[in-house]
Chains A and B, each alone.
Chain A
Amino acid sequence: MTYAIQLQGIDKRFGAVHANNKVDLAVETGSIHGIVGENGAGKSTLMSILYGFYQADSGTISVFGNAYRFTDSQQAINAGIGMVHQHFMLVDNFTVLENVVLGAEGGYALAAGMDAARRELKRLANEYGLHVDLDATIDSLSVGLQQRVEILKALYKGAKILILDEPTGVLTPQETDELFKIFAALKQQGVTIILITHKLREIMAITDQVSVMRQGTMVAHVNTDATDESQLAELMVGRKVLLDVSKQPGKPGESLLKVKQLNWSDQHGVARLKNINFDIKAGEILGVAGVSGNGQSELLDVLTGISRLQQGSIEVLGKEFTAKQPFDAATMRTMGMAHVPEDRHKMGMITDFSAAESAIMGYQQDSELNAGVWLKPELVRQRCSELMVAFDVRPKDVQLKSANFSGGNQQKLILAREMERSPDVLIIGQPTRGVDVGAIEFIHQRILAMRDAGKAVLLVSVELEEILSLSDRIVVLCDGEITGRMAVEDADERKLGMLMANVQESHDPLQAQMQEAVQ
């Protein structure tokens, strides 16, 4: 058995943080190897060391049996390692061809090298089924195709080992299937693939071996067919985790939030929301599914009063708002609507504030917290520590800077702030983005508890699993329009995926381009 990669005793500290603690990893040549772990478990650090972004404090790297000590990415590339980053490293206004040759142009003048590159890319495209229009600019391509460009880029530079960091986070289920087909083709040609992900389902579906990391150490190496999702989750978190949310059927009451004929255009006049209609009843969760960037953020902003209502109406707890009677975020809060924003760092908290300060944001005017113009600091701190107890935020230090909590704990603090006032309408965006498995379980239970207490909940999420396991009803947003609505019993990933890409109208850019490429 030969190994594409062998890491031994990799150790790396960032100040007080022990990011990698004596990590060993062996990846068989021609296999698909998954690496799972919670956020901050050290997966990304380990891969960055392998790709030459950082140097390990100690430990050895060997690639195809040769020992290396990478001091920059170029050396890793030369050794045959290619990396597809979570956020693509592409120049948006360059063509596919220009992006691929960047860094490997083959001479001072471009012309000759470009022609050679074009031929080589055609060959690679045919060999691995990676069809992309080489002369299209990146910003005209769908996310799935951009990812292909990243893969092509790595292969063109001679990668025999591909590292992919959370490659499916931005893809529709159909695009994910396409990607997995490409993986299979790559594997057949002898390419080794390292897949970093937190989606256990994908690990089970595609990998040969899995390595599990927890708190900087490697806790297990297993063959995929000898394990299952719950065992992996347990290894990641270090305790038993309930993966499936058990949910009683809801008992919907009267409508608490009604949205009628909502239209909204951005500052450039581009329509972002088109004729949106829905209502949410008490004791009900409405899930909004969609690939990110299809109007979800705009919907959240308009509903919560961050963006001004332009057309249509929103009825909250029987009170109707239109463009002529606009409202702001503060009005909505006093009406009994709470908002957990999509991006906790940009809108949920101020990372430089202490936990106590972040825990009253939006409610800082509360009469009980204020004495005249002064806040009552003891009360503010006391409230924060109550929230921390209620939502198990760790560490329980109200003076700690918000930035110094882990993602999951930041999110729990925000959820605590918004939920503990028992709002009638709860608007939640991406509740578990960047949150680890243990915290996800907790957050899901709390959201369901809100529903069971008779609240109306709007849940916007790009995670289909989350939508499917929490919602009572689902609407799908694509390009600012609701392309489908259904009860959760009638929904599955496939159906939602088709609606997310709006394929029944058969102008899916991905498919169109694939057909083009085939011809």
Chain B
Amino acid sequence: MDFSDLWLTFLLTLDATLRLATPLVLAAMAGLFSERSGVVDIGLEGKMLAACFTSASVAYVTGSPWLAMFAAIGVSMVFALIHGFATITHKGDQIVSGVALNILASGLTIILGLSWFRQGGQTPSLTQEGRFLSIELPGADLLANVPVLGPLYKELLSGHNILVYLAFALVPVVWWVLYRTRFGLRLRAVGENPKAVDTAGISVNGLRYRAVLIGGVLCGIAGSYIAIAHNAAFTRDMTAGAGYIALAALIFGKWRPIGVLFACLLFGFLQSFAMRIEGVPVPGIGAIPVQLIEAVPYILTVVLLAGFIGKAIPPKAIGKPYVKER
């Protein structure tokens, strides 16, 4: 194996990393808004799953990926609103509400899928028109023969669908909103000390609803990506824990956009590495069992979260419904 082959393998692994990290980034940013406002969002998984099903169904019926995505965002926002209504308006337990939404999404997508499409809970496969397709960046083929940098541009940077670019472009935007705008300042404040926000004459509930709804929008995009960009149909429980991994990335990145981005990339890389090493004999060990490799990201998450990332201090008011005292 010469250098250019090795380089190519490496680039392809990174390329897969980007594709696998995309839903994580979107979901983690969704969680970041919600949790920075003080609302635990364990329902990322459910919102994404509902969005997966909605986008796949709408794309199949209408053939338009954009329409599908907007429908998915709508459904995801409805889920977010339910979470908000239970936990912000009625001061319910945020974990319970989130888990309930996850269970609801998991069951509802299968039942509706069965009754609408009769394919064992799946939606019919989409044709290319119904999906978000890869975009070749200008000059990718032209530059392909330039050593080292050519493959980098063609394999790694070019050839993704629009949602991948959107997800990564989103991170600096989130950073800017969080740290450089009035909304961001208030959002960070309400997650730390909602009383301070209330006595400053700002509505705590209003801020939290907005944060939760933004989370809904981003989960809608994340779900659409999984169902109609990365895949071409809905299959049952297809999010496969991405929502929980995104939550882990959120803690791992200490609730800061840039840190969270790198955490998502790390988890994406582990997944793509697992896929690449699958079935390949490792010298001295032999082929590593698939199950073990697939478990690596989860094991690593547990190990890392158990104390290898230093102190992750969550927003102080997280998980606590705000009740005005007399």
Tell me the A residues contacting B by CB distance below 8 Å. 14, 45, 48, 53-54, 72-74, 77, 83, 85, 89-94, 98-99, 101-105, 107-111, 113
Identify the closest chain A residue to B199 (Cβ).
Answer: A89
Q: List 30 A-B contacts (CB under 8 A).
A: A45-B326, A73-B198, A73-B199, A73-B201, A74-B201, A77-B201, A89-B198, A89-B200, A91-B192, A91-B196, A93-B192, A94-B189, A94-B192, A98-B185, A99-B196, A101-B185, A102-B186, A102-B189, A102-B200, A102-B202, A103-B186, A103-B200, A104-B200, A105-B182, A105-B185, A108-B181, A108-B183, A109-B180, A110-B181, A110-B184
Q: Are A103 and B326 in contact (CB under 8 A)?
A: no
**Nearest chain B CB to A22 CB, angstrom units:** 20
**Nearest chain B CB to A282 CB, angstrom units:** 45
What residues of B have a CB within 8 angstroms of the CB of A94 in the complex? 188-189, 192
What residues of A have a CB within 8 angstroms of the CB of B188 in the complex? 91, 94
Type the 1/0 row for B166-196, where 1 means its CB is closer than 8 Å to any CB of A.
0000000000000011111110110011011
What residues of B have a CB within 8 angstroms of the CB of A53 in the complex? 324
What residues of B have a CB within 8 angstroms of the CB of A98 in the complex? 185, 189
What residues of B have a CB within 8 angstroms of the CB of A72 in the complex? 201
What residues of B have a CB within 8 angstroms of the CB of A93 in the complex? 192
Identify the closest chain B residue to A77 (Cβ).
Answer: B201
Identify the closest chain B residue to A110 (Cβ).
Answer: B180
Q: Are A102 and B197 in contact (CB under 8 A)?
A: yes
Q: Are A85 and B180 in contact (CB under 8 A)?
A: no
User: Measured between alpha carbons, how far is A72 from B196 in the docked complex, in Å?
Assistant: 14
Q: Are B198 and A108 in contact (CB under 8 A)?
A: no
- Tell me if B316 counts as interface (CB < 8 A to partner A): yes
What residues of A have a CB within 8 angstroms of the CB of B316 in the complex? 92
Type the 1/0 row for B86-127, where 1 means its CB is closer than 8 Å to any CB of A.
000000000000000000000000000000000000000000
**Nearest chain A CB to B184 CB, angstrom units:** 8
**Nearest chain A CB to B282 CB, angstrom units:** 42
Identify the closest chain A residue to B324 (Cβ).
Answer: A53
In chain B, positions 128-155 with a C-beta closer than 8 Å to chain A are none
Q: A91-B193, A94-B192, A109-B180 are in contact. Are A85 and B199 (CB under 8 A)?
A: yes
**Nearest chain B CB to A107 CB, angstrom units:** 7
Q: Are B326 and A14 in contact (CB under 8 A)?
A: yes
Q: Are B201 and A92 in contact (CB under 8 A)?
A: no
What residues of B have a CB within 8 angstroms of the CB of A90 in the complex? 193, 196
What residues of A have a CB within 8 angstroms of the CB of B180 in the complex? 109-111
What residues of B have a CB within 8 angstroms of the CB of A101 in the complex? 185
Q: A89-B193, A94-B189 are in contact. Are A107 and B182 (CB under 8 A)?
A: yes
What residues of B have a CB within 8 angstroms of the CB of A99 in the complex? 196
**Nearest chain B CB to A414 CB, angstrom units:** 24
Identify the closest chain A residue to B184 (Cβ).
Answer: A110
What residues of A have a CB within 8 angstroms of the CB of B195 in the complex? 89
Tell me the B residues contacting A by CB distance below 8 Å. 180-186, 188-189, 192-193, 195-202, 316, 324, 326
Identify the closest chain A residue to B193 (Cβ).
Answer: A91
Identify the closest chain A residue to B325 (Cβ).
Answer: A53
Among B181, B196, B326, point to the contact of A102 (Cβ < 8 A): B196
Among A45, A91, A113, point to the contact of B189 (Cβ < 8 A): A91
Identify the closest chain A residue to B313 (Cβ).
Answer: A93
What residues of B have a CB within 8 angstroms of the CB of A83 in the complex? 199
Among B197, B198, B326, point to the contact of A54 (Cβ < 8 A): B326
What residues of B have a CB within 8 angstroms of the CB of A91 in the complex? 188-189, 192-193, 196
What residues of A have a CB within 8 angstroms of the CB of B181 in the complex? 108-110
**Nearest chain A CB to B284 CB, angstrom units:** 43
User: Measured between alpha carbons, how far is A123 from B243 in the docked complex, in Å?
Assistant: 49
What residues of B have a CB within 8 angstroms of the CB of A111 in the complex? 180
Identify the closest chain B residue to A101 (Cβ).
Answer: B185
Q: Are B182 and A110 in contact (CB under 8 A)?
A: yes
Q: In this complex, which of A48, A54, A91, A113 has the most chain B Cβ atoms within 10 angstroms of its Cβ?
A: A91
User: Measured between alpha carbons, how far is A68 from B19 in the docked complex, in Å?
Assistant: 59
User: Measured between alpha carbons, how far is A98 from B189 in the docked complex, in Å?
Assistant: 9
Identify the closest chain A residue to B202 (Cβ).
Answer: A103
Identify the closest chain B residue to A104 (Cβ).
Answer: B200
**Nearest chain A CB to B172 CB, angstrom units:** 15
**Nearest chain A CB to B189 CB, angstrom units:** 5
User: Measured between alpha carbons, how far is A101 from B188 in the docked complex, in Å?
Assistant: 13
User: Measured between alpha carbons, how far is A99 from B324 in the docked complex, in Å?
Assistant: 20
**Nearest chain B CB to A81 CB, angstrom units:** 11
User: Measured between alpha carbons, how far is A72 from B195 in the docked complex, in Å?
Assistant: 14
What residues of B have a CB within 8 angstroms of the CB of A102 in the complex? 185-186, 189, 196-197, 200, 202
**Nearest chain A CB to B230 CB, angstrom units:** 35
User: Measured between alpha carbons, how far is A89 from B201 in the docked complex, in Å?
Assistant: 12
Q: In this complex, which of B196, B202, B316, B326 has the most chain A Cβ atoms within 10 angstroms of its Cβ?
A: B196
Identify the closest chain B residue to A98 (Cβ).
Answer: B185
What residues of B have a CB within 8 angstroms of the CB of A92 in the complex? 192-193, 316
Identify the closest chain A residue to B180 (Cβ).
Answer: A110
Identify the closest chain A residue to B315 (Cβ).
Answer: A93
**Nearest chain B CB to A159 CB, angstrom units:** 12
**Nearest chain A CB to B37 CB, angstrom units:** 13
Identify the closest chain A residue to B196 (Cβ).
Answer: A89
What residues of A have a CB within 8 angstroms of the CB of B202 in the complex? 102-103
Identify the closest chain B residue to A99 (Cβ).
Answer: B196
User: Measured between alpha carbons, how far is A342 from B127 in the docked complex, in Å?
Assistant: 71
Q: A54-B326, A108-B181, A110-B185 are in contact. Are A103 and B192 (CB under 8 A)?
A: no
Q: A92-B316, A98-B185, A110-B181 are in contact. Are A103 and B193 (CB under 8 A)?
A: no
**Nearest chain A CB to B235 CB, angstrom units:** 42
User: Measured between alpha carbons, how far is A436 from B199 in the docked complex, in Å?
Assistant: 28
Q: Are A103 and B197 in contact (CB under 8 A)?
A: yes
What residues of A have a CB within 8 angstroms of the CB of B201 in the complex? 72-74, 77, 103
**Nearest chain A CB to B36 CB, angstrom units:** 12
**Nearest chain B CB to A45 CB, angstrom units:** 8
**Nearest chain B CB to A16 CB, angstrom units:** 14
New contact pairs (18) apart from A45-B326, A102-B197, CB-CB < 8 Å? A54-B326, A73-B200, A74-B201, A89-B195, A91-B192, A91-B193, A92-B192, A94-B192, A102-B189, A102-B200, A103-B186, A104-B200, A105-B182, A109-B181, A109-B182, A110-B181, A110-B182, A111-B180
Identify the closest chain A residue to B200 (Cβ).
Answer: A103
Identify the closest chain B residue to A76 (Cβ).
Answer: B201
Q: Nearest 6 A-B pairs (CB), nearest first?
A: A103-B200, A74-B201, A89-B196, A105-B182, A89-B199, A91-B192
What residues of A have a CB within 8 angstroms of the CB of B193 in the complex? 89-92
What residues of B have a CB within 8 angstroms of the CB of A48 in the complex? 326
Q: In this complex, which of B197, B199, B316 has the most chain A Cβ atoms within 10 angstroms of its Cβ?
A: B199
User: Measured between alpha carbons, how far is A23 from B217 in the docked complex, in Å?
Assistant: 51
What residues of B have a CB within 8 angstroms of the CB of A110 in the complex? 180-182, 184-185
User: Measured between alpha carbons, how far is A107 from B184 in the docked complex, in Å?
Assistant: 12
User: Measured between alpha carbons, how far is A29 from B326 in the docked complex, in Å?
Assistant: 28
User: Measured between alpha carbons, how far is A92 from B326 in the docked complex, in Å?
Assistant: 23
What residues of A have a CB within 8 angstroms of the CB of B199 in the complex? 73, 83, 85, 89
User: Measured between alpha carbons, how far is A85 from B200 in the docked complex, in Å?
Assistant: 12
**Nearest chain A CB to B148 CB, angstrom units:** 40
What residues of A have a CB within 8 angstroms of the CB of B185 in the complex? 98, 101-102, 105, 110
